[in-house]
Amino acid sequence: MNKVLVSLVALIAATASVPAVFAQQVASLETSRIVIAPPQTELARTIKSGLSAAYYGARPETAAHAEAQRLYFLYGERHFEPIWLTENGKGEIAFSPAANKIIDLFRNAASEGLVPADYLTPSISMDKLTGDGIALATLETAFSAATMRYANHLHNGRIKPQSISPLLDIQPKPIDEAALLEQLAGSNDPAAILATLEPQHPEFRALKAALANFEQSSAKRPTPIGEGPVLRPGNSDARLPAIRERLELTASTSSLYDALTVDAIKSFQEVQGLEIDGIIGPATVAALNGGAATRREDILANMERWRWMPSELGDFTVFVNIPEFRLAILRNGVEEYTTRVVVGTTKNQTPIFSDNIRHVVVNPYWNVPSSIIRGEIAPAVLSNPGYTDSHNMDLLYNGSPVSPWQVDWSQVSTSNFPFRVRQRPGAGNALGQIKFLFPNKHDVYLHDTPSKSLFGRSYRAFSHGCVRVQNPMEFADALMANEPNISRASLEAMFGSSERWVNPEKQIPVHIAYFTLRANPDGTLRAYGDVYGHNEKLIAAMGLVTAEEPAIVAEAENVPEELSP
């Protein structure tokens, strides 16, 4: 069917019967040429009338309004003719072959980690095929809405990330819905077209395979080890019999954490890359709950998070996984370098987002965030004006350094503290000797740190939100692998007291992610603790468990909070 291209003025004229407010809303859309074709059949006119009424009747800035708007223009491009309904030789209305194949996809949506009832709604039931023109028009547009919903769920997930936490700074990926519907309507294999919308990453495919095998698996799935206090040798805990079973030790009902179990835990920690201390804390419990003990809801939640990720991570990219406390550099999906990281505390969480590394800064100043100034530095300076000098810091007023000894502190309080604060380059600088910048609204980045001891721990959520890198110069060398004029040696040659900025020729994608399950190359799954509680909140939002406030992983030992990003 040929499409008729008309200008915006012609569009408004063609919709003269629509209320004026609707025409104004249409006119507020982009003024480039809009594809609209006048209806040529009775059914098409009914479809147009119903879509106009739905658009006008929906409250602006709601999901229903946005969906009605999309449908109006999608159908307007094709004379408002039906996509999913067809007439057989007997004059009867039926679903088209493409529609029937898509209905099969809806029925099998659970295999994709989705919910069939989200698409097989009462409004697209078979008995609607025998209705009048209005009922058929409603069926037609409801089917398109369900198909777009399914496509968006495949591509972007069912749950809006910000509904879990505002620190999940993730935006949906666009879909050309008009082109997609045209492709689907004319395809003999709509499943193949829709399959291109789901993540193509090997780890997503491994999770999908694990979901498919979950119910069919003949292996006995052990009950997950429950949360509880940190266990040290000699402690007693009711979980010890289950832990011994998981470690394939001789069965025992003893609740004592004995020497034999301690040795087995140390061996397990070594294999898992954990701190080999024999202490059963959150990270060790999470690792014990991986593999055969992985819950179905964890698989589904991690599949959902992969749908939130960009479709393309980049040929050469940095991937930080917060629950894993680990950073990796990937080239064409293959890991080239990895190191441990320290991330934000549960109070000062590291945000989840993707960006591009644009700058490397040697001998960096640390521009102290206002939250740290208010909460820590201002009270310290008010009680001791020499605090800034002792910490190699500058007080800045209107951008210029001010001596703390020239300030009348009787006129200053924590609530009206007028100074910015920066820490000068040096051995004690909180950012260490180098930082890696990807300018963002959260003011977080990757950086060195003088506090190296925390990298030896299994649980490493101790920063104010930035990501501290254990081996920053090794990381810098691996990161600059594609830069002919930048190397570890050239960066180290800049060490000194002056801040130096280096700008790579190519920006490097960086993804700060949150996966509690990671897939090995053989498809087996490794589990990590739900550091910020994002996983359990998502599981509840997906309707997989009764919604309740999730427990957040706690650290094994208290560590004094540092004045550091």
Just list the catalytic residues: 447, 466
User: How many CB atoms sit inside 10 A of residue 214's CB?
Assistant: 14
Between CA 285 and CA 269 the distance in angstroms is 10
CA–CA separation, 259 vs 175, rounded Å? 58
Assess contact for 518 and 305: CB atoms under 8 A.
no
* Cβ contact 516:530 at 8 Å: yes
> Tokens at residue 386, please?
């020499």
Pairing of strands 366-367, 508-513: unpaired
Three-class secondary structure of residue 327 per DSSP = strand
From residue 403, how far is each of 206, 391, 395, 509 by CA, in Å? 59, 14, 7, 41
What is the C-alpha to C-alpha distance for residues 187 and 197, in angstroms, rounded to an integer? 16
Burial class (CB in 10 A: 0-12, 13-18, 19+), 25: middle
- Contact yes or no for 138/50 (Cβ under 8 A): yes
Task: Pick the closest to residue 459 from 554, 562, 393 (CA basis).
Answer: 554
> What's the DSSP call for residue 353?
E
What backbone phi and psi angles, to 5 degrees, belong to 152? Answer: -65, -35
CA–CA dist 500, 517 (Å, integer): 39
For 293: left if phi > 0, alpha if psi spans -120 to 50, otherwise beta; the answer is alpha
Half-sphere exposure of 439 (CA within 13 A, CB side): 3
Q: 396 pairs with which residues across the strands?
A: 401, 420
Task: Provide the 8-state DSSP code for 352.
Answer: B
Provide the β-strand partners of residue 436.
360, 446
What is the Cα gyration radius of the chain?
29
CA distance 472 to 439: 19
CA distances 174 to 151, 220, 222, 445, Å, are 11, 42, 41, 27
3-state secondary structure of 318: strand
Distance CA 103, CA 119 (A): 9
DSSP string, 423-437: EPSSTT-TTTTEEEE
Residue whose entry in the numeric block shows the structure tokens 């159908």: 75
CA distance 8 to 73: 12
Q: How many Å separate Cα 437 from the centre of its chain?
A: 20
* Positive/negative CA dihedral, 123, 125, 129, 131: negative
